[in-house]
Amino acid sequence: MTDIVSDKSNRKNVQEQLSSDNSLQSLFTEFEDRYRRESSDVRNLSLQMQELVATTEVILDDLEPASLWTRFWKRITGHTRRATFQNYRNQLKLQHSNILLVAAIARQNRMVMEGLRLTLEKLHNVEKDAKFLKETVLKVEKRRAARIRPFAKSWNWLKNIFTGRKKPMR
């Protein structure tokens, strides 16, 4: 009777573990979706920064000293001043993008840590399941051994015939 009760409680434990595995699975899918979003944000920010760097390099190349006549002409037309302001604006945009990129990478790292926590939790559940299965197998083996033990002595005479012993084993 106690075996039946313990089997029912074991079934309840297994059902609870299965439901917790389903919730873990849903957490993993949510994690994967969030991680994809965060990594795409990081990718987009790094592409924007690369574009800003390329634009800034073009402006700096334009601001490099050229011939005297070219420099004079650019000053008269205001080109140098506009390019200088554009360079400053791009530098500020780069700094802002750099801050955004660092924040996005930090969010992505937090996501990775959360994923590792979920993985450890799932491994812990797998370990509990393995212990439960081991205990169940040991219980079944003990029951089987207890059922076979009374009959083992009665079949010793047959074992003695095949092993060639005259006296029964004790």
Q: Record the tokens describing residue 108, joined without a space.
A: 């992505």
Question: Is residue 38 assigned to a domain?
Answer: yes
Q: Is residue 133 part of a domain?
A: yes
Would residue 10 count as lying in a domain? no
List, for the chain, all residue ranges whose pLDDT scores fall below the cut of 50: 1-5
The structural domain count of the chain equals 1
In a domain, 20, yes or no: no
What is the reported pLDDT for 151? 65
132: containing domain = 25-163
In a domain, 114, yes or no: yes
CATH for 85: 1.10.287
